[in-house]
């Protein structure tokens, strides 16, 4: 059996860590193309100036337009070439990070998240959009970023909703990796880059990935509520440090080398409902995790543990919590069908899955979540 595991070359996390960004730029050369939204640049401008001065490096401003599109990627690649940039730095949220991955094409890439809302920073993949914001395609690169640099001071000062959303995304990691391992489904870590997928034997997840995914879940239960309290107070505590690591590193390695399953497919299905559009990815994934547990008939104790955790930190447990006050049979059918399109991860579940089964799990999870919420 072929197995695969992928990870960044280096992960560094600490207070005021952006002050050391110049050191990592210096390992590639004297300059970096900085891909970041102007608001994110302004948030850390003093630190960027300080690290440039300390290490003698230069950041080339990119004028990032805010969308990870083929046109923007091509423009920024030209900017990097014209300015002889030694490496690429993606700073900020998901769009800036994904754009940096595409511009760098898997080489000389430093990722600096300013929020801990998803596990995307560690991955070797990105999502491309059209300039109007509609989905275009997925992109995969030959390796994960060279450096992931986490400034916990910056993340602690971001709105706590981002951290909570990251915990929602991370919550699914163990359950999806567990399902993928049981079904022996291929994982993203084994996807070829620049080679037709059918020419490469699928790779399964490793024991290491499953262990990291389980540690991610245990960390969330142990420190999630304490970390949210610290973030609400703009304070850095050991619990917050642990949750930042869980949201970004443990979940990132767990999903990419452990696999996705029902929770993310159900998230994708829920996006057809307009009411969900103002909710973050991780918030919808959290409800998708509850649906997956219902779909697989997980033990009652396990389901109640997840529900308790979600309510404790403010994650959704029912459709109403993600902006869906009512759902028609036609809408439910649309959600279930989208979650079950051929390329979706729902087929990593270790049993046959149908749109009818997904629809039933969504309605049942909604009822269970509402009832559990009412009892508390």
Please identify every residue annotated as catalytic: 169, 264, 267, 281
**HSE of 126, CA atoms in CB hemisphere, 13 A:** 30
CA distances, 348 to each of 175, 178, 189, 354 (Å)? 11, 10, 15, 12
Sign of the four-CA dihedral 250, 256, 259, 263 = positive
Q: Three-state SS string across 276-303, please? A: HHHCCHHHHHHHHHHHHHHHCCCCHHHH
DSSP calls for 27-76:
TT-SEEEEE--HHHHHHTHHHHHHHHHHHT-EEEE----S---HHHHHHH
Helix (H, G, I), strand (E, B) or coil at 268: helix
Q: Quick one: which of 165, 158, 160 has its CA closest to 119?
A: 165
Distance (Å, rounded) from C-alpha 70 to C-alpha 266? 27
> 119 near 168, Cβ under 8 Å?
no
Distance (Å, rounded) from C-alpha 65 to C-alpha 289? 33
DSSP calls for 112-156:
EES--S-SGGG-SEEEEE-TTS-EEEEEE-SS--SEEEEEHHHHH
Q: What phi and psi, each to the nearest 5 degrees, are found at residue 110?
A: -115, 125
Q: Quick one: which of 167, 171, 307 has its CA closest to 226?
A: 167
Q: Quick one: which of 5, 344, 3, 345 has its CA closest to 144?
A: 5
Measured from the Cβ of residue 321, the count of other Cβ atoms closer than 10 Å reads 21
Distance (Å, rounded) from C-alpha 296 to C-alpha 265? 14
Q: Are strands 135-140 and 125-129 parallel, antiparallel or unpaired?
A: antiparallel
């Amino acid at each position: 059996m072929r197995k695969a595991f992928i990870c960044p070359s280096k992960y560094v996390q600490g207070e005021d860590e952006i002050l050391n960004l110049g050191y990592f730029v210096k390992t590639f050369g004297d300059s970096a193309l900085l891909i970041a939204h102007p608001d994110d640049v302004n948030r850390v401008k003093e630190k960027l100036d300080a690290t440039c001065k300390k290490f003698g490096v230069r950041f080339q401003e990119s004028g990032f337009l805010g969308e990870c599109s083929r046109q923007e990627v091509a423009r920024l690649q030209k900017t990097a070439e014209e300015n002889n940039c030694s490496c690429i730095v993606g700073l900020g949220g998901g769009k800036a990070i994904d754009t940096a991955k595409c511009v760098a094409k898997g080489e000389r890439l430093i990722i600096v998240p300013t929020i801990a809302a998803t596990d995307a920073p560690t991955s070797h993949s990105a999502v491309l959009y059209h300039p109007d914001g509609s989905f275009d395609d997925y992109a995969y690169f030959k390796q994960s970023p060279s450096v992931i640099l986490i400034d916990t001071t910056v993340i602690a000062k971001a709105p706590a909703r981002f951290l909570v959303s990251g915990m929602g995304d991370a919550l699914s990691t163990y359950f999806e990796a567990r399902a993928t391992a049981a079904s022996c489904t291929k994982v993203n870590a084994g996807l070829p880059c620049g080679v037709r997928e059918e020419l490469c034997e699928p790779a399964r997840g490793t024991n290491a990935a499953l262990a990291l995914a389980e540690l991610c879940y245990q960390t969330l239960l142990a420190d999630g509520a304490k970390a949210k309290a610290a973030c609400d107070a703009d304070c850095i505590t050991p619990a917050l440090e642990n949750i930042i690591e869980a949201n970004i590193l443990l979940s990132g390695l767990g999903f990419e080398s452990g696999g996705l399953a029902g929770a993310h497919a159900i998230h994708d299905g829920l996006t057809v409902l307009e009411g969900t559009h103002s909710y973050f990815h991780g918030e919808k994934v959290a409800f998708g995790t509850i649906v997956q547990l219902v779909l697989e008939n997980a033990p009652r104790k396990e389901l109640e543990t997840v529900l308790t955790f979600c309510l404790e930190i403010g994650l959704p447990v029912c459709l109403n919590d993600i902006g869906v006050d009512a759902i028609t049979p036609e809408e439910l059918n649309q959600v279930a069908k989208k979650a079950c399109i051929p390329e979706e991860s729902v087929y990593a579940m270790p049993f046959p899955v149908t749109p009818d089964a997904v629809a039933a799990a969504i309605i049942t999870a909604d009822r269970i979540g509402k009832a559990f919420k009412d009892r508390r």
